[in-house]
Structure 1
Amino acid sequence: MRITKPLIIALFCLMTTACSWFEDIQEYPDVPEQQLYQEAMTAMEEGALEVAIEKLQLLEARYPFGRYSEQAQLELIYAYFKNYEPEAARAAADRFIRLHPNHENIDYAYYLKGLTAFEQDISWITQYLPVDETQRDPGAALDSFDSFATLVERYPESQYAPDSQQRMVYLKNRLAAYEVHVARYYIKREAFVAAANRGRYVIENMQETPAVPDALAVMIEAYTLLGMQDLAADTRSVLQQNYPDYVYTPVYRGEKTLFDAATFDMFSDNKEPPVLTPVRMSQHEPEPERSVFSKVTFGVFDDDEDAEATTQE
């Protein structure tokens, strides 16, 4: 009995494994490499991307050194991209670049990798709702910019280089605007040194973007709040000479008490921004002093109060 029991277990495991082998053979019959590749391409043309991906994966697994292996790997990147599988597409592109660094179509792999990251964060929300892209996480944009930059630098004669350069301009503008947005957030949080560093980064690395005047203005405000008047004056001079018509509204509104934060500033005095004259300030008339009743009622009866005040005058 001691010998029979282990023998029965071993036979059972062998039979189970054999059944799985037969199932694989029935599900994936032995198909020639060329036929498998043609079936994958046909499925791709017909829009059956999942079928195309399955056949390309099978081709790569069964014929890793075949005549269609490298082309199948490229087609697999494209299939993942069209099937909205960005992580799989980028992984497949990285794998192809690592295995075939001297391939004649490696520029296509870099292009698909950059294009995948470029469209990774584009969803129906951003397409149909007014979402500010400059305030979103720029991780995918950075990856996309790096891939396009590598393509343009290493393969300037590639047919994909012109489109990559145009996309790089868009990405650079977006990244610069994001840096300015973060700098303004730092000013609100009273992290003035970090805000100045963010603005200086835009000036040093993204000089041709539309965010340059905003970055200069943020630097002026940060330097002024830090008491660095010389740096603020120098930056103000650069901004006035290059953007004389720029209008800037300071971000910092002063410190808030715990009571003001809890009541959403309804009972606090209107805090004026610090006196900054980097450029022509926005020409807004100062708001009249609001009464406590006006703040509590959210200004619903402001017209009546104004009328009464005019009558009394």
Structure 2
Amino acid sequence: MQRSKLSVFPALLLTGSALWLSGCSTTTSEDATANWSPNKIYAEARDEANSGAYEKAIPLFEKLEGRAAGTPLAQQAQLEKAYAYYKSGEQAQAISTLDRFLKLHPASPALDYALYLKGLVNFNENLGMFSSITRQDLSERDQKSAKESFEAFKELSTRFPESRYTPDAQARMTYIVNALAQYEVHVARYYYSRGAYAAAVNRAQTALTDYRDAPSLEEALYIVVRSYDALGLPTLRDDAQRVLEKNYPNSPFLSSGFKGKDTRWWQFW
């Protein structure tokens, strides 16, 4: 529920004359929806949302939550308010609304949609991060949104395997895993290019350990090989080389190094 903002104005002292305020009194703005039925409020809110006026739809959905409390319509209003927040770019408000819905309505028939929408909000918020990191010098970035998106999609897929939203959620989970793995590889390559070979090995190993079967693991192994070579550790280098050759016998990294593979990983989705 939104709070009304109260502004406090200082009194003005007018020298030499008196200010008389006649016919003025403190009034409250009228609620245009006071005599509306819940169905009318819902219809108006949907019209605003459908026209893209989400900032007008949100307060109407909030009113509907109160007017229709305890009914399926109130649950619908809460979900559509979350979607309106999402479409208007208010990710934090959307997630907060969805978390409240999941807590209050654990048996709702719309639970699968709520989980899907929560995953989608975090997924889209995270795309900006993934699409831009290859143009930056970086060492660390927050991956919290991507991981929370994955967890929401995973819960949806596990609890509601027959849901209409599950196939898309699973596709997005694959994207997230691949993107997070490639992120680790990108950071490993960043460290390698700056001579921080031990750090490069650590980040490449993170990708190899945490993200099985991701496409970027081929490059991760190559970074490990090159880093161990630069560190003067031939035994570890040769072990990593054998793993690379066994798993990727036709790897372009083996013949051409970093130039042998297109690594534009942000085109996954």
Q: What TM-score, normalized by structure 1, do the two folds share?
A: 0.64
Tell me: CA distance 1:42–1:73, structure 2 relative to 1, closer, same or farther (3 Å). Answer: same
Asked if the contact 2:125–2:145 (Cα under 8 Å) also holds between the matched residues in 1, the reply is yes
Find the aligned partners of 2:80 and 2:190 in 1 and give their Cα distance: 44
Asked if the contact 2:66–2:74 (Cα under 8 Å) also holds between the matched residues in 1, the reply is no
Asked if the contact 1:33–1:66 (Cα under 8 Å) also holds between the matched residues in 2, the reply is no
The one-letter amino acid paired with 1:88 is: Q
Residue of structure 1 in register with 2:54 after alignment: 49
Residue of structure 2 in register with 1:222 after alignment: 227
Find the aligned partners of 1:206 and 1:67 in 2 and give their Cα distance: 41
Residue 110 (1) aligns with residue 85 (2): no
Q: How does 1:38-187 map to 2 (within 5 A)?
A: 38-122=43-127, 132=134, 138-187=143-192
Find the aligned partners of 1:157 and 1:180 in 2 and give their Cα distance: 34
Find the aligned partners of 1:76 and 1:108 in 2 and give their Cα distance: 13
Corresponding pairs, count: 230
RMSD of aligned alpha carbons: 2.8
Q: Report percent identity of matched pairs.
A: 37
Structure 1 residue 113: Cα displacement: 1.1
User: 3-state DSSP class of the match of 1:142?
Assistant: helix
Structure 1 residue 99: Cα displacement: 1.6
Structure 1 residue 189: Cα displacement: 4.2
Asked if the contact 2:134–2:186 (Cα under 8 Å) also holds between the matched residues in 1, the reply is no
Structure 1 runs (4+) deviating above 6 angstroms are: 133-136
Q: How does 1:209-288 map to 2 (within 5 A)?
A: 209-248=214-253, 279-282=254-257
Find the aligned partners of 1:194 and 1:150 in 2 and give their Cα distance: 33
Structure 1 residue 233: Cα displacement: 1.3
Find the aligned partners of 1:141 and 1:283 in 2 and give their Cα distance: 27
Find the aligned partners of 1:133 and 1:86 in 2 and give their Cα distance: 25
Deviates more, 1:100-109 or 1:184-193: 184-193
Structure 1 residue 160: Cα displacement: 0.6
Find the aligned partners of 1:27 and 1:131 in 2 and give their Cα distance: 48
Asked if the contact 1:36–1:55 (Cα under 8 Å) also holds between the matched residues in 2, the reply is yes
Asked if the contact 2:218–2:248 (Cα under 8 Å) also holds between the matched residues in 1, the reply is yes
Structure 1 residue 109: Cα displacement: 0.8
Unaligned runs of 5+ in 1: 1-17, 249-278, 285-313
Find the aligned partners of 2:183 and 2:236 in 1 and give their Cα distance: 23
Asked if the contact 2:61–2:78 (Cα under 8 Å) also holds between the matched residues in 1, the reply is yes
Structure 1 residue 33: Cα displacement: 2.2
Deviations 1:77-130 (A, max 9, x none): 12222223222212211111122222221110111111112222456xx6xxx8
Structure 1 residue 280: Cα displacement: 2.8
Find the aligned partners of 2:37 and 2:198 in 1 and give their Cα distance: 65
> Please, which of 201, 207, 212 is the counterpart of residue 207 of structure 1?
212
Tell me: CA distance 1:137–1:34, structure 2 relative to 1, closer, same or farther (3 Å). Answer: same
Find the aligned partners of 1:108 and 1:58 in 2 and give their Cα distance: 22
Find the aligned partners of 1:199 and 1:131 in 2 and give their Cα distance: 17
User: 3-state DSSP class of the match of 1:23?
Assistant: coil
Residue of structure 2 in register with 1:193 after alignment: 198
Tell me: CA distance 1:93–1:226, structure 2 relative to 1, closer, same or farther (3 Å). Answer: same
Find the aligned partners of 2:188 and 2:144 in 1 and give their Cα distance: 17
Deviates more, 1:208-217 or 1:57-66: 57-66
Higher relative contact order (CA 8 A, sep 6+): 2
Structure 1 residue 166: Cα displacement: 0.9
Structure 1 residue 198: Cα displacement: 1.7
Unaligned runs of 5+ in 2: 1-24, 260-269
Residue 23 (1) aligns with residue 11 (2): no
Tell me: CA distance 1:168–1:283, structure 2 relative to 1, closer, same or farther (3 Å). Answer: closer
Find the aligned partners of 1:108 and 1:133 in 2 and give their Cα distance: 35
Asked if the contact 1:97–1:106 (Cα under 8 Å) also holds between the matched residues in 2, the reply is yes
Find the aligned partners of 2:114 and 2:258 in 1 and give their Cα distance: 52
Find the aligned partners of 1:146 and 1:178 in 2 and give their Cα distance: 18
